[in-house]
Structure 1
Amino acid sequence: MPKVGSALLNRLTTPLLLAVISLCSPIDTLAESIPVTFVVVKNDGIYKKIINSTEQSLNTAGIEIDKTIIEIKKPQPAQLKNNADQIISIGTKAAAFSYQQYPDKAITNALITHSSFQQLAQDNITDANQASNQPITPLFIDQPISRFFALGLQLVPESKTIGLLVGPSNKAQIPNIRAKAKKLGLSVNIALLEPDSNPIKIIEPIMRSSDFFIVLPDRKHINQLAAKWTLPLSYRYRKPLIAYSHKYVDAGALASVYSSPENVASAIAQQLMKGTQASTSKPDNSAFFSVTINRSVARSLRINTQSPEFYQQQIRAGEVTTE
C-alpha cells in the first residue's frame, strides 16, 4: 500500500486539528461580570441565603457578577468599588445605611416592607436633588391584600364575611381593603390593634363572626400580640386563619402567603437583569411569592386542600385576568 506523503498528510490533518482546537478553546466567553455590592447587617442566616440564591439565579441565566458584600455591623466595612453600578441592600437597617453612605448610586432595597420604606425615605431622602438623581427601587415583601382574599376564597369558597387584623402601619390601607373586598362581594370586619388596645376585646368578636380571618404584618410588638391571640382564638372558634409567614402556619394557621428568601432572591435577580441602572423608582409588589398550607389544621377543619403550587397558580391566574 503506498505511503501518504508528509506534505499531503499535513494538508489533510491540519484543518481537522484546528477545528478540534477551536471547539475545545473558550472562544465564546461570558460577558464581563457586573459589579454588584450587597449591603447586609451580617453575612449569615437569611442574608447569606438570599445572596447565594441571587447569584445562583443569575448564573443560571448566564450572568456573572463581581460581588462585594458589606456588613454594616463591622467596625470598618469593606469599601465600595468605584465601578459598582448597583447597590443591593437587604433589610431595613441595610437600606438606611445605603442611603447615607452611597447617595450617588442606584440602590435596590430588598427584604423591606412598604411602611418601612416610606419611613426610611422620609427620614433619609430630604434633599430634592438626591431624590431625583438617585434611582431607588424597593422590592417589597408585603403581599397585596388581594392575594390573602384569593387564598382564603380558594380554601373556603363559600365565605361571605371576612375578619382582618391590621395595626398602626397598615391602618391607612383600610379604605383600599374595604374596596377590594366589596369588588369580591365580601363583607369585611376589621380589627384595628393599637399598642394600647386590649387584644382579646378587639379580636374575639370579629374572629367569632368571620368565615375566615386574615392577619397582616405590622410592627414587631403588634405582630407578637396578634400571634399570641389570633392562633388560640382561631382554634377555639374553629376559624381558618390566613397569615403572612411560614412560621404562622407552623404554629397553627391554616395557610399563609409570603415572600420566602428564594422569592426575594428571584426578585433581586430579575431587577439586576433589567440593567445596572434601576428603570424606575416607583414601588411595586414582587411577582414572586410562596404559599404554605397546614394540612393537619385543614383536616381538623374538614377543609380539602390542594398543593401549595396549585394555590400559587390560582392566585397568579386571578391577577392576570384583573390586570
Structure 2
Amino acid sequence: MGERLISCVAHTRRAFGHPLLRDLISLALLALCLSGFSGHALAARVAVVLSDDSAPYQEVYQVVRAFLDDSGHEAVRINARGLTPASLKATRLAVAVGVLAADALSGLPNPPPILAVLVPRAWYLKTGRSQLTDNGNRLASAIYIDQPIERQAALIRLAFPAARRVGVLLSANQSGLLGELQAAMGTQGLVLTNAILAKDEQLITPLENVLSEADLLLALPDPVVFNRNTAQSILLTSYRYRDPVLGYSRSLTRAGALLSLHSSPAEIGRQTAEWVSNALLGSMTRLPAPAHPAYFSISINEQVARSLGFTLPPEAELEKRLGSIR
C-alpha cells in the first residue's frame, strides 16, 4: 500500500513544474490515493480460544490463522484453562472454539466481541447467547456445529426418494425442535414420527416404537440420546429394523450410519475466517447473526448401504445437488 501511495504522489510532482500548483494538486491527489485504501482493515489481534487441545479445535485454529496471516491480521491461540484478562490485551475480537471456551470468555470482565464456533444451536439459544452478550450488552454471534433441519430434510428426499416417514428420538431438552422438524419434513412431503425420552428412561423401548413406524432414523446431536454409551446400540437396533440412519458426523458413518451430513473442523474454520475477516473491516467490529454451517460434506457407508439394499448417488453428486438447493 505504501509503494502505491508514494508512486501516486511522485507522479504528480513530476507532472507539474510550478511549486504552488504542484503542491496543491499533490495534496488533492494524496487524498484521492488515500481514499482508495479506505476499505482495507487495519491489522488486528484476534484471540482464538480453544476448549482443549484436541484435533478438531486445533484444526479450526490452523485454518483461521492461515487465512488471517494472509490478510495481515494476527491470530493468537489460547487454551481456555489458561485464559486471563491479560490474555486478551489489545484483542479486537475473540473466537471461542467450543462450549468450554465460550464459557471461559463469558466469565471474564469486559471481554472483546465474541464469535463462538463449533457450538450446538440448542446450547446457544438456551444459555450461550445470554452469557456471551451479557444479556444484550456485548456483541456476540455463533456458527453452529449442527446442520440446518431444512438441509437434512432435503438430503433425505434426495437420498431416499421412496421414504415417507422419518423417525427421530429426542431428549426433553431438545423437544422444542419438534415444530421445526415437522415443518421442514413437511416441505419435502415427509411425515415425522417421534418419541421424547423422559428423564432416566431406558432408550430401547421408545427407540423401537419409532423404528417400527419409520422408514429411516434421523440422528441429531443430542448428547442425552446419542453418546458413547448409546450410539452403537442405536445403530445396531436400527439395522435390525432395516431402517437406515442419517447421522451428523463422519464417525457415525464409520460406526454404522448409512450416511451422514456434517461440516468438518476445516469447513467451520473456513467460515470462521471469512466472518472474522469481514468483521475487522473498518473501525467498528461487526458480526452477522448466528448461523448454521455454510460448508458441508456427505459421507456414505457403502457396506451398510449394500446390506440394507440401498443404492445411493455418489457423495460428490449428493453434495452438489444439495448445495444447489436454496
Measured against the shorter chain, the TM-score band is: 0.7 to 0.9
May I ask how many residue pairs the two structures share in their alignment? 284
Give how far 1:119 is off. Answer: 3.7
Choose which of 210, 217, 223 in structure 2 pairs with 1:219.
223
Indicate if the aligned counterparts of 1:137 and 1:278 stay in contact, CA closer than 8 A: no
The 1:228–1:278 alpha-carbon spacing in structure 2 relative to 1, beyond 3 Å, is farther
Indicate if the aligned counterparts of 1:40 and 1:69 stay in contact, CA closer than 8 A: yes
**Paired position in structure 1 for 2:241:** 237
**Paired position in structure 1 for 2:209:** 205
Counterparts of 1:220 and 1:268, CA distance in 2? 28
Give how far 1:123 is off. Answer: 6.3
Indicate if the aligned counterparts of 2:172 and 2:198 stay in contact, CA closer than 8 A: yes
**Paired position in structure 1 for 2:258:** 254
Q: What residue identity is the alignment partner of 2:51?
A: V
* TM-score (norm: length of structure 1): 0.79
The 1:225–1:203 alpha-carbon spacing in structure 2 relative to 1, beyond 3 Å, is farther
Indicate if the aligned counterparts of 1:161 and 1:187 stay in contact, CA closer than 8 A: yes
Secondary structure of 1:164's counterpart equals: strand
**1:70 has 2:78 as partner:** yes
**1:115 has 2:125 as partner:** no
Counterparts of 1:272 and 1:123, CA distance in 2? 21
Secondary structure of 1:188's counterpart equals: strand
The 1:69–1:206 alpha-carbon spacing in structure 2 relative to 1, beyond 3 Å, is same
The 1:123–1:283 alpha-carbon spacing in structure 2 relative to 1, beyond 3 Å, is closer
Structure 1 outlier segments of 4+, above 4 Å: 125-128
Choose which of 306, 312, 315 in structure 2 pairs with 1:308.
315
Secondary structure of 2:59's counterpart equals: helix
Give how far 1:189 is off. Answer: 0.3
Secondary structure of 1:177's counterpart equals: helix
Choose which of 30, 49, 56 in structure 2 pairs with 1:39.
49
Secondary structure of 2:194's counterpart equals: strand
The 1:81–1:92 alpha-carbon spacing in structure 2 relative to 1, beyond 3 Å, is closer
**Paired position in structure 2 for 1:190:** 194
Q: What residue identity is the alignment partner of 2:77?
A: I
Give how far 1:72 is off. Answer: 2.3
Give how far 1:77 is off. Answer: 5.1
Indicate if the aligned counterparts of 1:213 and 1:242 stay in contact, CA closer than 8 A: yes
Give how far 1:80 is off. Answer: 2.8
Give how far 1:122 is off. Answer: 6.4
The 1:127–1:65 alpha-carbon spacing in structure 2 relative to 1, beyond 3 Å, is closer
Structure 1 residues not aligned, in runs of 5+: 1-29
Counterparts of 2:148 and 2:93, CA distance in 1? 27
**Paired position in structure 2 for 1:13:** none
Counterparts of 1:57 and 1:171, CA distance in 2? 38
* TM-score (norm: length of structure 2): 0.79
The 1:103–1:204 alpha-carbon spacing in structure 2 relative to 1, beyond 3 Å, is same
**1:54 has 2:58 as partner:** no
**Paired position in structure 1 for 2:293:** 286
The 1:197–1:186 alpha-carbon spacing in structure 2 relative to 1, beyond 3 Å, is same
Q: Deviations over 1:39-83 (max 9, x none)?
A: 113345222111112223445xx4133122221223x75833533
Secondary structure of 1:235's counterpart equals: helix
RMSD between aligned residues: 2.5
Indicate if the aligned counterparts of 1:91 and 1:111 stay in contact, CA closer than 8 A: yes
The 1:298–1:57 alpha-carbon spacing in structure 2 relative to 1, beyond 3 Å, is farther
Choose which of 87, 90, 93 in structure 1 pairs with 2:94.
87
Give how far 1:165 is off. Answer: 1.9
The 1:199–1:257 alpha-carbon spacing in structure 2 relative to 1, beyond 3 Å, is same
Indicate if the aligned counterparts of 1:40 and 1:90 stay in contact, CA closer than 8 A: yes
Counterparts of 1:219 and 1:264, CA distance in 2? 20
- Identity across matched positions, percent: 24
Counterparts of 2:56 and 2:207, CA distance in 1? 32
